[in-house]
Amino acid sequence: MTSRRPLVAANWKMNGTLASLRPLVDSVRADLDTAAEVVICPPAIYLAEVAGRLKGSDILLGAQDVSEYEAGAYTGEVSAAMLNDYNCRFVIVGHSERRSLYSEDDARVAAKFQAARRAGLTPILCVGETLAEREADHTEEIIDRQLQAVFASGEIVGAVIAYEPIWAIGTGRTATPDMAQTVHAFIRHRLASHGRNLAETIRILYGGSVKADNAAELFAMQDIDGGLIGGASLLAGDFLTICHAATGHPTR
Ligand code: PGA
């Protein structure tokens, strides 16, 4: 038995405007009733707005990305210290959209991970394979490479890992609970080689087409400690159902 607290994180990506996001965050806040930890990661420009609307609630704030640099001539970037100014507690690093659309390699992801940690933020490190890599039976090798780059960069205590098979993101094609559990167990095994305590305490989220109707069966798996939710986090009712499903985790 472990005491990992389930975690559900909303990744709104680049969706919505103030007109749609204000009622979304207000509805989630009003109806949330879960023992799970819940995090909302809005677009950076709305962090202040969402922080204000979450004041006094248990819902935590996260960002979708962070610069690996502390400050300077990096047009368009947002530093970890800036995220701290808005009470961000979490930041997603290495999302597959950042890796593929913005050419973030393992070294950059590791640098972002450590920049977040230095500032006291909890990084949510995303790892996952493409469909071609899965079909070629390279899933573990790819994930191992992505993890090792970060493990080699420094401390990982307190971080969160999100397994997000790229072929399941935004496609409606979810990994089955067994498929996800197999990879989560592999990740935990890799963590164990850096210390048993690390393996037992680090939360591993599943992401990729988690919906209101499949969340409970995914979260019931031994090594799935919650979810990183994209599309379904933009619908208050669906997101609430997913958050409530996380309370039923067997390790609690
Ligand atoms: P999805 O996205 O839930 O829309 O598949 C998940 C993610 O990219 O984090």
Q: Which amino acid is at 221?
A: M
Given the residues 95, 184, 244, 249, select the one marked as catalytic: 95
Task: Read off the tokens for 34.
Answer: 């879960």
CA 57, CA 54: separation in Å to the nearest integer?
Answer: 5
Confidence (pTM)? 0.96
Pocket test for ligand 1, best of 98, 210, 214 (most atoms within 8 A of CB): 210
Distance (Å) of CA 47 to CA 40, 82, 91, 130, 170 = 10, 10, 12, 31, 23
User: CA 239: distance to chain centroid?
Assistant: 15
| CB-CB contact of 21 with 49 (8 Å) | yes
CA 84, CA 103: separation in Å to the nearest integer?
Answer: 26
Q: Mean pLDDT score of the chain, rounded to an integer?
A: 95
Token pair 């979450």 in the structure block, residue: 54
Q: Select the more confidently predicted residue: 2 or 47.
A: 47
Query: Is 129 part of the annotated catalytic residue set?
Result: no
Give 248's pLDDT tier (boundaries 50, 70, 90).
low
- The residue nearest atom 2 of ligand 1, judged by CA position, is 230
Q: Could you write out the DSSP letters of every residue in the chain?
A: ---PPPEEEEE-TT---HHHHHHHHHHHHHH---SSEEEEE--GGGHHHHHHHHTTSS-EEEES---SSSSSS-TT---HHHHHHTTEEEEEES-HHHHHHS---HHHHHHHHHHHHHTT-EEEEEE---HHHHHTT-HHHHHHHHHHHHHTTS--TT-EEEE--GGGTTTS-PPPHHHHHHHHHHHHHHHHTT-HHHHHHSEEEEESS--TTTHHHHHTSTT--EEEESGGGGSHHHHHHHHHHGGG-TT-
Give 3's pLDDT tier (boundaries 50, 70, 90).
confident
Task: Read off the tokens for 189.
Answer: 């095994």
pLDDT at 217: 96
The pocket around ligand 1, CB under 6 angstroms, is made up of 11, 164, 169-170, 207-210, 228-232
Q: Please name which of 193, 129, 128, 118 lies closest in space to residue 159, comparing C-alpha atoms.
A: 118
pLDDT at 1: 46
Query: Is 189 part of the annotated catalytic residue set?
Result: no
Average pLDDT over residues 157-183: 93
Q: How far is the CA of 208 from the centre of ligand 1 (A)?
A: 5
Q: Is the pLDDT of residue 252 over 70?
A: no
pLDDT tens across 46-78, in order?
Answer: 999 999 999 999 999 999 999 999 999 999 999
pLDDT tens across 96-129, in order?
Answer: 999 999 999 999 999 999 999 999 999 999 999 9
pLDDT tens across 183-230, in order?
Answer: 999 999 999 998 889 999 999 999 999 999 999 999 999 999 999 999
pLDDT at 235: 98
Pocket test for ligand 1, best of 7, 8, 11, 161 (most atoms within 8 A of CB): 11
For residue 197, which phi and psi values (nearest 5 degrees)?
Answer: -65, -40
Q: Could you write out the DSSP letters of every residue in 153-175?
A: TS--TT-EEEE--GGGTTTS-PP
- The residue nearest atom 3 of ligand 1, judged by CA position, is 230
pLDDT tens across 8-47, in order?
Answer: 999 999 999 999 999 999 999 999 999 999 999 999 999 9
Q: How far is the CA of 207 from the centre of ligand 1 (A)?
A: 6
